[in-house]
Copies of this chain bind each other. A is one copy, B any other.
Amino acid sequence: MEFKEKLAAFRSRIDSAIDQLTPASNTRPSRVHEAMRYSLSAGGKRIRPSLVLASSELFESQVDPLPAAVAVECLHTYTLIHDDLPAIDDSNLRRGLDTCHIRFDEATAILAGDALLTYAFELLAKHYSSEPSLAVELIATLSETAGSQKLIGGQMEDVIGENYSVGETELEYIHLNKTSALIEASLIMGAAIGGANDEERHSISEYGRCIGLGFQIMDDILDATSDSKTMGKTVGADAAANKTTYVSVHGLQESRSRLASLTNRAREICDQLHAPLLKQLATYLNERTN
């Protein structure tokens, strides 16, 4: 199967698993379930859950990675809903659609985000209960990644950083934690489901950090060079807000060069892992236009 077809197949399996594994919109109280489903289906690229599937398929276990993929997407979606809130990034548009608090209201968006975060752990606990050690490992990985010293920590420093200019070190902390950590965790969770050994997990982690940092650098490049129509969200917002980005610190040329070097390293690791799909994915993420 061609790479693009493989990605489309992942996406289709993920979309259908999201539909099957999350509560129906008319579940009481319908308002919060409508909001959860609205944001879950608001046109995401499904990169993180695809990484769970791609990583698990490198190994031989027969354990189903789809519930973990859905858990990761629920968690990712919660971060978008809460980040978009007026008190944080105050974004009205996401992937070309109204953000959750615009489509519904702020109270509903707060609660829908809380519910998606909570549901990520419920999915893992319930769908992997017949493999309790694996379930506990997946929950430990996802909760640590999503926690106050990684994902939320990165977001907190990003919020604080909007009030003054952050330096290169703070920027790396924000990128590593706010964006890269969940990408790396998605791959590690897939590897755990697949039954990878320690050495393989180590390589998968390094690959994850490379494409995770690369992903954030690409976001900053796109914000500086693309237009709102292509991106489906407000762009140029970083510069307008005088926000420190990889591009504002290092310039466009150096940003592109760092991205290329991270992508090359990711591709090398894939050769060692015999992971052609992940190798193509590293290139794909480097070349995306939105």
Contact = CB atoms under 8 A, between A and B. Distances in A.
Interface of A: 23, 27-29, 31-33, 36, 78, 82, 85, 87-88, 105-108, 110-115, 117-119, 121-122, 124-126, 128-129, 132-133, 135-136, 139-140, 143-144, 146-149, 152-153, 155-157, 159-160, 173
B155 A143 contact: no
Contact of A107 (B28, B88, B114, B121): B88
Nearest to A143: B122
Nearest to A153: B29
Contacts of A108: 156, 159
B107 A159 contact: yes
> Which of A36, A128, A146 is the most central at the interface, judged by chain B CB atoms within 10 Å of its CB?
A146
A147 to B, nearest CB: 5
Given A107-B159, A121-B121, A121-B139, A148 B33 contact: yes
Complex copy number for this chain: 2
B143 A121 contact: yes
A87 B114 contact: no
Given A114-B117, A159-B107, A159-B111, A147 B125 contact: no
B135 A110 contact: no
Contacts of A149: 23, 27-28
A115 B147 contact: yes
Nearest to A78: B114
A33 B152 CA distance: 11
B132 A136 contact: yes
Contacts of A143: 118-119, 121-122, 125
